[in-house]
Structure 1
Amino acid sequence: MTSLFATFSLDALDGIALAVLILTWAVTGWLAEHPPASRPSVSALMAGYRREWMRQFVTRSPRIFDANIIDSLRQSTAFFASASMIAIGGGVALIGNVTTLEGLAHDLTLEAAGVRVELKIILVLVFLANALLKFVWAHRLFGYCAILMASVPNDVADPQAYPRADQAAEINITAAKSFNRGLQSIYFALAAITWLLGPWALIGATVITCFVLLRREFASLSREVMLAR
């Protein structure tokens, strides 16, 4: 038991790198969904557009355009869910072959401790598993949204028309949040792979990933376009 614990134990720098990765993952996700009021994120801006979409949807006839958009969103989530499952399968197969992992460690001039490399691969798999769960849930929520949209009366004067549209909008926003969380996990899974190169590589990749995500949420051209009036 002691030798097994020692094999999985992390030195100080590895522990710091892992903590930086997890903390950055949590903080960037929280900032994207809870931005400052003075500087809304792309996710927050898109939530407003999704609400407006559902209100415009009430008076649109026919509603084929809206049905096509929902179908496209579901296809996107299904694609990423499938890709995540394939990646998880590849990672599990890699962990099951310690010899290959040891060879990879030698090729990267790392320590030849197969279990140590396994731990690093497991971290990647955790992010991929989280992404898979988020994508699957987003896919289901977009399905719920489609059903709610179908229940919106065609008569604009119907008292249930706009309340149902508002319900569909909120489900749509929730689905988009889950989809974005899945994408964020994919980004950080890619950053976690660099741990194979050492803790400094992991810290560097984490900082770059954080910069990319925050720039896209708070300083991208697409955000400026959404803010334009």
Structure 2
Amino acid sequence: MLDSLILSPTDFAALAYFLAAWLVHGLAASGRLVSRVSLSQAMNAQRAAWMRGMARRELRMIDTGIMVGLQQGTAFFASSSLIALGGCFALLNASAQVAQIVADMPYAGPYSRQAYEIKVFGLIAILAYSFFKFGWSYRLFNYCSILIGAVPMASDPGYEPKEIWAAADRAARMNMLAGSHFNSGLRGIFFSIGYLGWFINPLVFALTTSLLLAVLVRRQFFSEARLVALSEGSRGIGD
């Protein structure tokens, strides 16, 4: 029975570990798994502070400039995901040749064309997921721009302060939501790098997943960038 499987039990175990690492990291970064404040959560607080500051400003060119930068960055990653998807389909067209090249690599072990194609389809799924996350994030940043435009001026006598702060809060929550989807897409891109280890063998796959997870955990929970986002004073920036 096991001999007839295209993928070995070790492959399935490594894939399960990869998916679990991706899921656990996402939950931890969003604050749903651990109590320690992550970099993403700290930046959400800064997004809220930004929108409160925006509501007090008469001239909001700086805010629209920041939004343009966020949209351009999101569009860049969405386009990059599409380009990578096209590259994956090109790999499928040359699956026999590429599978042979991979099989000749050190420590690759026995390799079949069917196993190679399954792994490429998995990579396509990851990149497609990232593209849709970036695409939705881009649209949410557009919505946030509209909500920023809808925030009344603090000096406008026709609005009560609570109305102004409620409008700023709507813009902040939309910005946080857009940032959350952007982070999910970026997480998919990062984990696609760890996924490449599977093309060698499942043990390398588990190793690359572990190394990637260690880097991402450090950046979210133990980096200098996190300390800067949480601090009230100035610090030297080392990450």
Q: Which letter maps to 1:114?
A: R
8 Å CA contact retained: 2:58, 2:154: no
Does residue 174 of the first structure (1) align with residue 171 of the second (2)?
Answer: no
Q: Give the 3 Å change call, closer, same or farther, for CA 147–88 of structure 1 in structure 2.
A: same
8 Å CA contact retained: 2:27, 2:33: no
User: What's the offset of the Cα at 1:196?
Assistant: 0.9
Does residue 202 of the first structure (1) align with residue 202 of the second (2)?
Answer: no
Uncovered stretches (5+) of structure 2, i.e. residues with no partner: 233-239
User: What's the offset of the Cα at 1:89?
Assistant: 0.6
1:211 and 1:194 map into 2 onto residues whose CA distance is 16
- In structure 2, which of residues 22, 25, 29 is the aligned counterpart of residue 25 of structure 1? 22
Identical counterparts, % of pairs:
35
Q: Which letter maps to 2:211?
A: I
Per-residue CA shift, 1:65-116, capped at 9, x if unaligned?
A: 0000000000000000000000001001211222222332233254341111
Per-residue CA shift, 1:170-191, capped at 9, x if unaligned?
A: 0000000000001100011111
- In structure 2, which of residues 42, 67, 81 is the aligned counterpart of residue 45 of structure 1? 42
Indicate the SS of the match to 2:151. Answer: coil
Uncovered stretches (5+) of structure 1, i.e. residues with no partner: none
Does residue 101 of the first structure (1) align with residue 98 of the second (2)?
Answer: yes
Per-residue CA shift, 1:106-133, capped at 9, x if unaligned?
A: 3325434111111112221111111101
Q: Which letter maps to 1:121?
A: V
RMSD: 1.8
8 Å CA contact retained: 1:35, 1:41: no
The within-5 A match list for 1:67-86 is: 67-86=64-83
User: What's the offset of the Cα at 1:37?
Assistant: 7.2
Indicate the SS of the match to 1:61. Answer: coil
Tell me the matched-pair count: 225
Does residue 188 of the first structure (1) align with residue 187 of the second (2)?
Answer: no
User: What's the offset of the Cα at 1:61?
Assistant: 2.5
User: What's the offset of the Cα at 1:38?
Assistant: 4.8
2:7 and 2:201 map into 1 onto residues whose CA distance is 12
Structure with the higher helix share, 1 or 2: 1
User: What's the offset of the Cα at 1:39?
Assistant: 1.9
Q: Which letter maps to 1:153?
A: P
